[in-house]
Structure 1
Amino acid sequence: MTAGQGTSAAAADGEERELLPVATAARTRAAVRELLRPYRALAWGGFAAVVVATAIGLLTQPLLGRIVDLAADRAPAGAITTTVVLLVAVAVTQGVSTGLGLSLVSRLGETVLARLRERFVERALGLPLEQVEKAGSGDLTVRVTGDVSLIAGAVRNALPELARSLVAIVLTLGALAVLDWRFLLAALLAVPVQVHTARWYLRGAVPVYAEQRVASGAQQQQLLGTIGGSSTVRALGLEEDHAERVARRSWTAVEVTMRGVRLVLSFYCRLHIGEFIGLAAVLAAGFWLVREGSASLGTATAAALYFHSLFTPVNAALVLLDDAQKATAGLSRLVGVADLPLPAQPERPATPRDASVTVTGLGHSYEPGHPVLHDIDLTLRPGERVALVGASGAGKTTLAKLIAGIHRPASGTIRLGGADLDALGPAAVRRTVALVTQEVHVFAGPLADDLRLAGPDATDAELRDALDRVDALGWAEALPDGLDTVVGEGGHRLTSAQTQALALARLILTDPPVAVLDEATAEAGSTGARALEKAAARAVDGRTALVVAHRLTQAATADRIVVMDAGRIVETGTHDELRAAGGRYAALWEAWSDTRAAGS
């Protein structure tokens, strides 16, 4: 079952979206500390291993310098053997300790990311659907896909490399000081250029990458809206208009991305200037010290090699700022959602006495001053099946979503079994009322697992019974692997009618006392419409049901019909009573009958 996608709550072009919150930099850092706290031992172990590996690796340069001194003194070839053996030992030991350190750091990062992802998903699933609709599904989609991918990449690649690079920089500078403090001073001439470059980059990168994520979210939201509503777009002849909207969103994303590219290119150019300054200074210092007799040729060689070896970790650390800024922008967006409070649950949740639904004085608007429902009074008796009919825009879907607890009404009350929705709390409302819409998501995996999302403890026999009640058992067992067939993304593709039947089978397995069907058979097409309508009737049998009828044949079989127009209830009664009354329903039925006759 799904809760449907957007409504008219936002402007058509998506300009008035209320995006989900983004955490501040301070809050993001605090969240990372909170996530790391339980794994301090793992963090210190990984850091220690990286330090040891880097320190061992720093023995390479003086050993190479020793070879230079031996060659300069014309020592016999055998004198170099010990040094070469030591070089091999250093390489092997460094490789082993580096592998251990990086594996520990990677495990730390993956563990922390998993905790953050779990917290994000928990909050995202608990968000009021009204809030998600106001933000637009694109915003949440980009966070759970693009932002998570960025952070995962940083954790798997950038974090271990950054840790090793920072340690290498500190220890290498210390090694230069041990050789001669003047080598260290020469090397530090590059630092002002590098620090200035890093600060300049950070000032420009943070807003650019944050803007890039927002632009990507807006672009994806526009694509989702255009593709999802493609049939309506074509029917109204709005193809050109929507193409322009997509192009505008896309060009905005491209422009922001190119600003980031230009920023990175300038960043690299400035880094190279710092490297050339530092290397020239170290070589000059070495030349002067050797000439003065203060250092040997091997020592000067080691110093030059030390500084040259700094190119990789310094560049890696500074270049990783690029990944770090992208990941930080994404992390702040995840933390912003993860920090959202879960919907409050009443301390003593009320218990519905029965499966009745009572709506009193209900009014609602998505935008101030533009009400879509006006003073609705409606009662559904336990076990009664009521059909909502009316022209498009009459307010049927809004009323259905309010009763299902998707939105909070602007005025009036909704009671389930005599208990107010607020007194029940979101969890109890979800257990009491199930909403099935025409937009059904098929989860990737075996068909049986998809069904068990609605009934985790359901046996194979219960799954088959649910499918049989909606006339879906035949095609389900005819799949290549029966109920074990993988469906959803990358699996066996289900037809629209099969997908709708799957949603109805989930409804049976969930077994709520109240069911709301919002045009749940609309996607079936005329061929399978009558069969799916019968399946829907069996799925809601014994439940209180509110059915937003896409076809009037579905309304005709309901216990009672409620006709809406312009956000108000204008008629109510049985099919025969309303036809005899000659009012709005009678006119709708006549038009519907004429259309069917013309189509046949």
Structure 2
Amino acid sequence: MKALPTATPRESWAVVRELLRPRRRQAAIALGVLVAAAALGLAGPLLLGEIVDRVDEQRSITGPALALVGVAIGEALLFAVGLILISNLGQPVLAALRERVVARALKLPAEQVERGGRGDLLSRLGDDIAVLSEAVVEAVPPLAAASLTLGLTFVGLATIDPRLTLAALLVVPVQVWAVRWYAKRAGPAYADERRVSGERAQAILDVVGGARTIRALGLQPTALPRVEARSLSSVAAVVRTIRISTHFSSRLNAAEFVGTASTLVAGYFLVKADSISVGAATAAALLFIRTFDQFNIVLGTIDEANRALAALARLVGVLQVPEPPPAEPHPGAHVALDGIRHAYDGGPTVLHDVDLHIAAGERVAVVGVSGSGKTTLAKVVARFHTPTDGTVDVGQVALVTQEVHVFAGTLADDLRLAKPDATDEQLQRALDAVDAGWARLDAVVGHGGVELTPAQAQQLALARLHLADPRIAVLDEATAEAGSAGARVLERAADTVLRGRTALVVAHRLTQAARADRIIVMDAGRIVESGTHAELVAAEGAYAALWHAYTADRA
């Protein structure tokens, strides 16, 4: 299974810069407010140093004390405003990225999704977007603020005495060593964590989706260990990232000791030499200790930021999948397939030199044993698959399969996905056309709403088809999930909806095929028979054998 691509850091940042470009002014204002807050924060330690000197000199401390209160209030307000501005900047950027990724995901070729696994795509659209959303709110604003404060703190040290800055810079080699150790391991570890999360999602999706088959064949002893193995791999990946973060913290503790000691020692000698006052040395020590407060904030958010960068790379990777050329449907209602060959991802050929021409308004049924290529042919006609070879000439087409998704919301909202400007009267006519007497337009369906039966869900899908009003309709076993009574209702509904349209119907029941204008029989990826029901029964070939077996079972 070949997963969807993952972008490089350069490619990811290029997309972020592109999304930020229309919001440069907003970004500049947010940055300016944070710089002002960080600069004001430098005044706190300096004022405390002034208070120490005044106490030492037995002078009044009222002025510096009041200024200290004002600085604290001003810094808090500016930081609050800056963080709000950063969050307000991040949310529209994230929304734009999310819309781009979802729009591209909806255009991904079916083969690409099948190769990578739906679990990988769902993990990107669900888990990765959630990780990025959380980081935009909880990690990016404090990380930006703390980073600015770190830089300006060293400027503050230099204003007291440049030699104090040189002493504080002794911490840099230790920090560089710690950061290089962390950077070498953290990026790959977090990327691996996101990848394993996608594999776990795919394993769970496979087991849940195939639950009936697993129970029927007694495959629990082999299926469940696969999920357990993927889950354990995910846990191991998370533990790996936690271990890296813990080791990083221990290295930073060493850096903090070196920096604090060097600043205090330098301050002692400078005070002894009367180069600076005791208050200035105190301010320098407080400023340096403040750097580690900010560094702890960076450390507390950098894990989340790294996880977000890994998620961003996976989301941008979806954008890197080449968009398939847009379909160019002809204005008519006929279908023409010539020399169609198709194989899935380099596997064996499943369609062999298929030629199929359907006249405007003609209804063609496709029958054949399981694995004969019926569904593949239907999806080629519906342009869900691009054939490996051959030409497809199809007009406006819509596909209904036996797997129907019911969208969360009211039934009216669900139906309007097919025709956004439809009136309530038009929606009701569509429901009446498929005999959905149970349906109410204001009923809440989908997740958290009324659970529809398989037959009701298919009626909803056929009502959508009626509203979309395509020239060509493809039904891939759209009545297969219903029982006998439900199947009769669905077949009547399908007949109503398909009336007057060109149609290709993959028939689950031969009674549905018998009503078609023409029937094609497939075997091993080839069309082996074509004709009306009467002609094929009289020919005593493959279709006749299927028909006799079908009617004998119901005798």
Quote the Cα distance in structure 1 between the aligned partners of 2:320 and 2:524: 39
Number of the residue aligned with 1:38: 22
Equivalent of 1:344, from 297, 306, 325? 325
Quote the Cα distance in structure 2 between the aligned partners of 1:251 and 1:28: 29
Quote the Cα distance in structure 2 between the aligned partners of 1:594 and 1:287: 104
Quote the Cα distance in structure 2 between the aligned partners of 1:244 and 1:587: 43
2:502 maps to a residue whose letter is T
Q: How does 1:101-180 map to 2 (within 5 A)?
A: 101-180=82-161
2:487 maps to a residue whose letter is A
Number of the residue aligned with 1:29: 13
- The 3-state SS of whatever aligns with 1:476 is coil
Number of the residue aligned with 1:188: 169
Q: How does 1:480-495 map to 2 (within 5 A)?
A: 483-495=441-453
Q: Please say which of residues 496-505 and 146-155 is displaced more in the overlay.
A: 146-155
Number of the residue aligned with 1:460: 424
Write out per-residue CA displacement over residues 485-544 of structure 1, whole angstroms, 9 at most, x where no aligned residue: 332222332222221111111101110111111111222234422111211221211111
Using a 3 Å threshold, how does the CA distance of structure 1 residues 411 and 205 change in structure 2: closer, same or farther?
same
- The 3-state SS of whatever aligns with 1:528 is helix
For the Cα contact (< 8 Å) 2:143–2:302, is it kept in 1?
A: no
Determine if the alignment matches structure 1 residue 61 to structure 2 residue 38: no
Write out per-residue CA displacement over residues 439-484 of structure 1, whole angstroms, 9 at most, x where no aligned residue: 1112222221111110011111100000110111x2112xxxxx12
Q: Please say which of residues 506-515 and 573-582 is displaced more in the overlay.
A: 573-582
Gaps of 5+ in 1: 1-16, 417-428, 478-482
1:198 maps to a residue whose letter is V
Using a 3 Å threshold, how does the CA distance of structure 1 residues 54 and 455 change in structure 2: closer, same or farther?
same
Number of the residue aligned with 1:401: 379
1:468 maps to a residue whose letter is D
Number of the residue aligned with 1:296: 277
**Cα RMSD after superposing both structures:** 2.2
Q: Please say which of residues 573-582 and 24-33 is displaced more in the overlay.
A: 573-582
Using a 3 Å threshold, how does the CA distance of structure 1 residues 525 and 350 change in structure 2: closer, same or farther?
closer
Number of the residue aligned with 1:244: 225
For the Cα contact (< 8 Å) 1:22–1:332, is it kept in 2?
A: yes
Number of the residue aligned with 1:512: 470
Determine if the alignment matches structure 1 residue 522 to structure 2 residue 480: yes
Quote the Cα distance in structure 1 between the aligned partners of 2:252 and 2:442: 57
Write out per-residue CA displacement over residues 417-440 of structure 1, whole angstroms, 9 at most, x where no aligned residue: xxxxxxxxxxxx5xx111111111
Number of the residue aligned with 2:411: 447
Q: Please say which of residues 295-304 and 387-396 is displaced more in the overlay.
A: 295-304
Q: How does 1:310-349 map to 2 (within 5 A)?
A: 310-345=291-326
Number of the residue aligned with 1:99: 80
Number of the residue aligned with 2:501: 543
Quote the Cα distance in structure 2 between the aligned partners of 1:464 and 1:407: 33
For the Cα contact (< 8 Å) 2:115–2:345, is it kept in 1?
A: no
1:55 to partner: Cα distance: 1.1
1:395 to partner: Cα distance: 0.8
Number of the residue aligned with 1:11: none
Q: Please say which of residues 242-251 and 256-265 is displaced more in the overlay.
A: 242-251
Number of the residue aligned with 2:438: 475
Quote the Cα distance in structure 1 between the aligned partners of 2:329 and 2:430: 30
2:461 maps to a residue whose letter is A
Equivalent of 1:80, from 46, 57, 61? 61
**Share of identical aligned residues, percent?**
54
1:159 to partner: Cα distance: 1.7
Quote the Cα distance in structure 1 between the aligned partners of 2:362 and 2:189: 56
1:595 to partner: Cα distance: 4.2
Write out per-residue CA displacement over residues 557-585 of structure 1, whole angstroms, 9 at most, x where no aligned residue: 32322222221222333334433443333
Determine if the alignment matches structure 1 residue 357 to structure 2 residue 341: no
Quote the Cα distance in structure 2 between the aligned partners of 1:219 and 1:345: 33
TM-score by length of 2: 0.94
1:139 to partner: Cα distance: 2.0
- The 3-state SS of whatever aligns with 1:475 is coil
- The 3-state SS of whatever aligns with 1:522 is coil
- The 3-state SS of whatever aligns with 1:515 is strand
2:481 maps to a residue whose letter is E
**Structure 1 segments of 4+ aligned residues over 4 angstroms from their partners:** 594-597
- The 3-state SS of whatever aligns with 1:405 is coil
1:397 to partner: Cα distance: 0.4
Equivalent of 2:514, from 556, 559, 582? 556
For the Cα contact (< 8 Å) 1:289–1:295, is it kept in 2?
A: yes
Q: Please say which of residues 453-462 and 561-570 is displaced more in the overlay.
A: 561-570
Number of the residue aligned with 1:273: 254
Number of the residue aligned with 1:366: 344
Q: Please say which of residues 184-193 and 260-269 is displaced more in the overlay.
A: 184-193
Using a 3 Å threshold, how does the CA distance of structure 1 residues 344 and 411 change in structure 2: closer, same or farther?
closer
Gaps of 5+ in 2: none
TM-score by length of 1: 0.87
Quote the Cα distance in structure 2 between the aligned partners of 1:350 and 1:394: 27
